Homo-oligomer: A and B are copies of this chain.
Amino acid sequence: MNIQQAIKQYHLELLFQQGTFGIEKESQRVTADGKIVTTPHPAIFGNRSYHPYIQTDFAESQLELITPPQKSLKESLRWLSAIHEVVLRSLPENEYISPFSMPLALPAESEIQVAQLDNREDVAYREHLVSSYGKYKQMISGIHYNFQLSDEFVDRLFALQKEYQDPIAFRNDLYLKLGKNFLRYQWILVYLFAASPSVESVFFNRGQIKPEGFVRSLRSSHYGYVNHAEIKVSYESLQQYVETLEHWVKSGKLIAEKEFYSNIRFRGAKKHVRELLAKGIRYVEFRLFDLNPFAQYGIELADAEFIHTFILLMAWLETTATQDEIELGKQRLAEVALEHPLTVTRYQQEGLDILNQLEQMLLSLGASAETIATVKQKQQQMLSPETTICGRLVQQMQQATDYHQLGAKLAQQYKAAAVERYYALTAFDNMELSTQALMFDLIQQGINVEILDENDQFLCLQYGDHIEYVKNGNMTAKDSYISPLIMENKVVTKKVLAKGGFNVPQSLEFRNVSDAVASYPLFEHRAVVIKPKSTNFGLGITIFKQGVENIDDFRQAIEIAFREDKEVMVEDYLVGTEYRFFVLGDETLAVLLREPANVIGDGKHSVAELVAAKNQHPLRGDGSRTPLKKIALGEIEKLQLKEQGLTIDSIPEAGRKVQLRANSNISTGGDSIDMTDLMHPSYKEIAVKITKAMGAAVCGVDLIVPDYTKPAEARLSSWGVIEANFNPMMMMHIFPYQGKSRRVTKNVIKMLFPELA
């Protein structure tokens, strides 16, 4: 069939451009001065026997970062960014990630430790590689690009033709065509994306001699990671591909199928190529990409998208490369790899021709102007080698005093950028911080996480066959449905807590002044707080700490409250300080004191200056995406200052605490202070019991405690419970303004996956 005609005739342009993508990126851990480290793979990344995101390749020092399959490259690159941020923030302080494909400052071979995997076979395989190729060659890193055509596209195409009876055979041949053409024209991608122009001489330690000057890609050349020349595999049919590859393994020339270092690999659901014959090819792995040192995480989105269209072209072309043409393509690749990066390639015309066909294809497909512009840029690069990645790289290397220096500088720069907003996961910054923190921990520990709904903070977690869903960071199947319903209803909460024997302030609600005043006898002599039902910045609240003693005072307080709301509450007043207890299961994990926005005078600076200085804190921001908020200087703050006889220009004496808010919300600039270790354990136990009474697994319990150093007693003057909250905030415990961080997201994971503990 003619694929171009079929796509046009049956309007399959969109489907053709859909697909599933995955990126695997190797890179060396290095020190600040660019030397490959000799430390083991960090234990914080958990077990490599199942880690879906953070693996090691050949050596302990060689990270392999893997994005989960995504429907768009934009998503793949978000994941690549997120995984990098996790890794970079988890590495020891003096460790970085090398931006280069070629190793920087190789240690002695004896110091390079082969990846210490659980699977003995995997370790044995690496030992074999050492003896065949030496350790140094295995230290080269690159990017593997996985691509799967849309199943629906392939199915539709199959339905439209008559040549094939078997859909699997049809699919295999489509992927074979794509693969063969790719091998024929792959040199173009090397020309455009190569970035391994040089390496230190010590690398050439097994009879090879370092080539003169710079080349485009040592990695793609015969100096790189390639099989011995005799290893040739047939692409005539999948059957032949399988048989020739198996032949090399049987003959002992390859120790395993995976030692076949082709720039493409056909992949199925299982490990061995023979298994491809049963279920067919599912996707193709492209392995020829050097790390782009100018991209923070080794590859740019526009380049990844260009590669996608290039791969599509390989399927789109009317011809299919023959076995001879494949060999021709490999030769050209080898040649181009060793060209000087600043010279025009000798195959420029073929390159321009193919890129022109790519442009034509994109026009046929109705691709976006942006996509076409990228192709035009690559056409330009075909004419101007100095604008290719490698061209730019060697120009910088020529300027740098030292090849290592550039690598080390970039490595430091990229780590600094990844650490800057350490409380966030930049790529997923439109999700809540708590969900970002949870995802950080999941990626770090190697639990599969799928975003089901980004706006809704809905995640699917999986470890082995065990699936859990999480919404908003800690809403899970561990809580029962009824507990948030209880907590949502303050009346029901109070009844349930009172039933459970907890100290609850009693309250009555009124809808008019006269009913409230008629009930005055019920409150006489009692310490009560009179407040509008929905409190707003403390307006309309009157507190009778010593008990209300006459009806006129009471009436006045009721009237004040009714100015703010249609419903007014009269509630037992509890003397003491409010603390938030974060409970998970049987434990209070964190206790937090929230202080209203404030500054401490120094006798020198004005309130406005003190606020500005306090707002410099890295955790403070304006929007919703920082753990703490900047203190504003609006009407409410000015009113609060006025009550203390101050303006924003006043200079408070040294040590004086100036309050800028009556309410203690973090969202209005309040301070969060961790009190977990200071709080008497008896209150923590009460919080756990309250959580159990609510039937909750995770709960934020607000207790009023007059003296946190004394043990709790069974009376309202010792403590009282104000509220129990489902889906309690986590960020304020993880990133408090003062005191120790409590990484409660890790406890959420432990709760969901106890088998990982």
Q: Interface of A with B (CB < 8 Å)? A: 10-15, 452-453, 456, 458, 460, 469-471, 475-486, 489, 491-492, 495-496, 499, 518-522, 524, 695, 726
Contacts and interface: CB of A to CB of B under 8 A. Distances in A.
Contacts of A460: 495-496, 499
A15 B521 contact: yes
Nearest to A472: B485
Nearest to A485: B471
A25 to B, nearest CB: 27
Contacts of A483: 477, 481
Contact of A480 (B10, B452, B478, B521): B478
Contacts of A470: 482
Residue among A456, A477, A483, A496 having the largest count of chain B Cβ atoms under 10 Å? A477
A458 B491 CA distance: 10
A304 B8 CA distance: 86
Contact of A492 (B458, B478, B480, B522): B458
Nearest to A495: B452
Nearest to A150: B522
A456 B492 contact: yes
B456 A482 contact: no
Contacts of A456: 489, 491-492
Given A471-B482, A477-B483, A481-B477, A13 B521 contact: yes
A705 to B, nearest CB: 25
A211 B521 CA distance: 52
A518 B499 CA distance: 61
Contact of A477 (B15, B452, B482): B482
Please list the 6 inter-chain residue pairs (A to B) with the smallest Cβ-Cβ separation, ordered nearest first: A11-B521, A479-B481, A477-B480, A477-B482, A452-B492, A469-B482
B482 A524 contact: no
Residue among A15, A482, A489, A499 having the largest count of chain B Cβ atoms under 10 Å? A482
A14 B453 CA distance: 55
A43 B726 CA distance: 43
A12 B521 CA distance: 6
Residue among A458, A489, A499 having the largest count of chain B Cβ atoms under 10 Å? A458
Nearest to A468: B482
A706 to B, nearest CB: 23
A652 B431 CA distance: 58
Contacts of A486: 458, 469
A561 to B, nearest CB: 20
Given A492-B452, A492-B456, A521-B14, A479 B480 contact: yes
Nearest to A524: B11
Contacts of A499: 460
Contacts of A522: 14-15
A475 B726 CA distance: 16
A489 B15 contact: no
A458 B484 CA distance: 13
Contacts of A452: 489, 491-492, 495-496
Contact of A489 (B11, B12, B453, B519): B453
A453 B492 contact: yes
A8 to B, nearest CB: 11
Contacts of A12: 521
A521 B10 CA distance: 8
29 contacts: A10-B524, A11-B520, A11-B524, A12-B521, A14-B518, A14-B521, A14-B522, A15-B521, A452-B489, A452-B492, A452-B495, A453-B489, A453-B491, A458-B485, A458-B489, A458-B492, A469-B482, A469-B492, A469-B695, A475-B485, A476-B482, A477-B481, A478-B481, A479-B480, A479-B481, A479-B482, A481-B483, A481-B484, A481-B726
A478 B480 CA distance: 7
A456 B489 CA distance: 8
A420 to B, nearest CB: 32
A11 B14 CA distance: 80
A695 B477 contact: yes
Contact of A482 (B11, B475, B496): B475
A519 B475 contact: no
A138 to B, nearest CB: 38
Given A14-B522, A453-B491, A476-B480, 13 more contacts: A11-B520, A452-B492, A458-B486, A458-B489, A458-B492, A460-B496, A469-B492, A469-B496, A470-B482, A471-B482, A475-B482, A477-B481, A480-B481
A15 B526 CA distance: 14
Contacts of A480: 476-481
Nearest to A479: B481
A656 to B, nearest CB: 43
A487 to B, nearest CB: 11
A331 B490 CA distance: 53
Contacts of A479: 480-482
Contacts of A11: 520-521, 524
Contacts of A695: 469, 477
A478 B453 CA distance: 25
A218 B366 CA distance: 100
Contacts of A458: 485-486, 489, 492
Contacts of A471: 482, 485
Contacts of A477: 480-483, 695
Nearest to A7: B521
Contacts of A469: 482, 485-486, 492, 496, 695
A478 B476 CA distance: 14
Contacts of A453: 489, 491-492
Contacts of A485: 458, 469, 471, 475
A482 B476 CA distance: 5
Contacts of A726: 481
A456 B14 CA distance: 50
A470 B481 CA distance: 10
Contacts of A13: 521
Nearest to A494: B452
A226 to B, nearest CB: 41
Nearest to A458: B492
A477 B10 CA distance: 53
A456 B471 CA distance: 24
A475 B488 CA distance: 14
Contacts of A10: 521, 524
A273 to B, nearest CB: 28
Contacts of A482: 469-471, 475-477, 479
